[in-house]
Structure formats: C-alpha cells, structure tokens
Amino acid sequence: MAHKPEKHMILTVFMLPPGYYKDSWRLPGSRSEELGYLDFVTDLTLMCERAKLDSVFFGDVVTASTILEGNMMTTGLNEPITTLSALAGRTSKIGLTGTVSTSFSLPFVTARQLSGLDSLSGGRAGWNIVTSWMGGENFGIDELPAPAERYRRATEFVDVAVKLWDSWSDQAVINDRASGWWADPAKIQAIDYDGEFFKVAGPLNMRRSPQGRPVLFQAGSSADGMELGATFADVTYTAQPRKDGAAEFYAKYKELVRAKGRDPRSVKVLPGILPIVGETDAEAEEIAKDLANHINFDSGRVQLAKNLEIDIADIDLDERIPAERWSEDPSRGSRYHIFRKLTLDDGLTLRDLVVESYRSGAHLWAVGSASKIADVMVDWFEGGAADGFSLNPPHMPDGLRRICDLLVPELQERGYFRTEYEGDTLREHLGLDRPGAWDTH
C-alpha cells in the first residue's frame, strides 16, 4: 500500500505578476501590459484559490529603483494592502498575505491596515514582516541603519502591533442599545508603550478582527532575523537551495522557537521552490531553456554586483569571483553568504551566479514533470526540511497555471495536499490556534 502522509503541506504562492524568473515577462502571453492592474492579479489569485492553496503572498519594495534598472521581479507595482483589500472582495477562501516594512511604516498605521484587511476578508490576512534593504531615500533616510538596528526596530514594531491587536477583548463589543454603549471601555485596554523607537498609547480604534491578529510571516534567515521570527512569527520563509542546509535551518529554527517557550509545531517553516513544470520532463527542460534564453548577462552582471556590493566589472563571465573579494562579515546577510558559498565551495563561475540569481534567487529550483518535482518536495517535507513551500512561479500566468493544474493535483493524489478547504480563515488553513486578547494572557 502507498505511504499515507499524516499531514499535508502548506503551500503559498509568491505572487510576482511579472514572473519570478526575472525577464520572463517578455515571453508571449505574459499579460505584462496589465502589470499593476486588478484583473490580472485577480485571475492569478483565483487560479491559486481553485487549487486550494493556503495563501497568496505579495512582496514589496518601496523604491522605483528596480524598475529603473530593468529588474521587474520585485517592483512594488501592486501595493500589498490596497491590492489585497481589493482581492478580499473577489475571493472567498484563500489567505491574503502582504509585505509591510518595519523600517518605513509606523506600528499604529500597520496594525490598523492589517486589522482592517483581516476583517474585510473574513479572517484571511497575513503580514510578511520585512526590514528592507533599500528605499530609505523616500523616507528621509540617507543611509539605512545596520541590520542589527533594523531588527531591533522590527522587534519593537511587531511587539507594539501585537499589543494593539490584543488591546480589544473578544468581549469588547457589547452593542448595547439600551445602555447606549456599543463597546465596553473596561474591555479595551491602553498599551502605554514607551520603547527605544516607538511611543504608542493605544488602544487600537478597531474591533478585534476574526483571526485576533493576522498571521505573522517573516523571511530573514540571519541570526537577528531568526530571533525575530522565533519570537513572533507563525510562518517563516527561507531561501534554501539544498536539502541538508534546509534541514539544518529547520531544526535550528524550531529549537529557537522551543527556547522561547512556544510550541515548535505552531510555527511553520516554508522554503521557497521555483518549479519549472512540464507535462513531461522533456517539455519542462524546453521551458527552462526558453526562460534562460531571456537572460541579459550585461544587466545581470550589474545587478549582481549591486546586490553583493562587490566590484565584478573586470571579471570574465567564465571565471569565479576571487575569494579575496568576499567578506566573512555575517552582517552582509544570509543571501550574500549563500552566493559566497556557491562560489568558494561549489566553484560557480560569474555566469553560473547570474543564472542562479535570475532563475531562483538562492531558492531551491526544480525542472521536470509534476511527478519528478513532487518527489523533491515530498523528500524535503518528509525529511524534516520543510512544513511546506513558498511556490515561486517562474513565469506568469502559464508557470502558475502549470503549478496549479499539474503539480498541485499530483500532491493531492499522493495525499500531501488538501482537495477542499476545511476552514475559512488563514489560521485554520495553516492549523494555527487563534490567539487570545489581553484579558486572556
């Protein structure tokens, strides 16, 4: 008898309407003329909902610099909160997760926006907490603080937001026509927060939302990022190109969560995967070739140099970036160190690195039939490397269609994914408890 899995995977889609594989918007049929418009993202999101996926997830940047450099991967063309609010009215089950940076917003504003999204969507909101590495020029910040300070601010930011969401008891709304009190002031508590970065009296001026709080996602894999995630996050995204590294991260992360006094099973670890899915292995290889043929190595070199902050103008595409140009400084971030390792330990050339960063951006990638890719996912899932995956569609809309119509049914058939939604809220999809408010702590 075939092995019957005990639980199913969590699957979210990294919603990049131009496609994850950077220049894939140039492919025929990409609907790139509609980038930034609602009908296109609605169609993509409905495709995910039909496949019963847990959530769509919108990344964000708050600068036009990527577009001006011809890099269409993460553009900010869909501002997450407005886009997800519109999608709340066009969908009914799928989770709606969006990125808001703790370096540029304020906790009271963010807490209100996400509480509103959670209420408008009937309990489907998620927040991807990021600290951002660019965009300061639009907020009067000449130079962004070092990562450690950004994470200190992020920690305080999330702490304030959580306290604001919890400032209304679930019993606060009494709607008492006779007495003339809609809300019971005794059930709504100020937070009186006075920290290093924020001073917020509270309480929130919105009723407690269906999930109590939105589901909290975070995506930093540095020590500070993991600390933030282990303290607050329900879900962590991580870029892991190999199973052994992913399993190591998974174990370390769950241990950190346990050390915080939280149940490790209540925190989900989702590595990214870029699946290039074909009806057959051969067709998938053809698609992969087609995608690679769109890579512009000139702009790729410039972008890689900028991302890594290494001068590589003089290096031949078929040579390696020399060891002395890399830094061991851990504050350079986890992605930097993945690329450093790929060069120094695995011998990748500059050309290989450009392809690597264009194709999957340090995430796992797989090319083949649904069955072949499902094998990889199941191997990671059963092997203690993942609770599920952040799916990065290589091209839109066809790459997503292939994920939804070929890969997901394969996982469903094997019992690794749901065939119907069992709950209504994102927390229910993820198997997470609804947190209590201040009067239950």
Q: Does 398 bind ligand FMN (CB under 6 A)?
A: no
| Residue found by looking up tokens 């069992």 in the block | 422
Contact between 334 and ligand FMN by CB under 6 A: the answer reads yes
- Binding mask 141-180 toward ligand FMN (x if CB under 6 A, else -) reads ------x---------------------------------
- Interior CA angle at 212 toward 210 and 98, to 5°? 85
CA distance 334 to 338: 6
Nearer to ligand FMN, 60 or 398 (CB): 60
Q: Can the peptide bond before residue 145 be classed as cis, meaning omega within 30 degrees of 0?
A: no
- Using CA atoms, how far residue 248 sits from 167, 253, 412, in Å, is 37, 8, 27
Q: Could you tell me the maximum CA-CA distance found in the chain, to the nearest angstrom?
A: 80
Residues 6+ apart with CB under 8 A from 73: 16, 18, 19, 20, 22, 66, 361
User: Should residue 333 be labelled a site residue for ligand FMN when binding is judged by CB under 6 A?
Assistant: yes
Tell me: does residue 239 bind ligand FMN (CB under 6 A).
Answer: yes
Asked if residue 215 lies in contact with residue 432, where contact means CB atoms within 8 angstroms, the answer is yes
List the one residue from 237, 339, 365, 381 that touches ligand FMN (CB under 6 A): 237
Please list every residue from 14 through 53 that binds ligand FMN, using CB under 6 A.
none
The nearer residue to ligand FMN, 79 or 413, going by C-beta atoms, is 79
Q: Which is nearer to ligand FMN, 31 or 335 (CB)?
A: 335
Stretch 294-323 residues interacting with ligand FMN (CB under 6 A): none
**How many chain residues touch ligand FMN (CB under 6 A)?**
23
Instruction: Show the DSSP H helices in 166-273 as ranges.
Output: 223-232, 243-259
Binding status of residue 222 toward ligand FMN by CB under 6 A: yes
Give the list of residues 6+ apart from residue 188 with CB closer than 8 angstroms, or none: 167, 168, 169, 172, 203
Q: Is 387 one of the binding residues for ligand FMN (CB under 6 A)?
A: no
* Interface mask toward ligand FMN for 242-281; x: CB under 6 A: ------------------------------x---------
User: Which parts of this chain interact with ligand FMN (CB under 6 A)?
Assistant: 59-61, 74, 99, 101, 130-132, 147, 219-222, 224-225, 237-239, 272, 333-334, 390
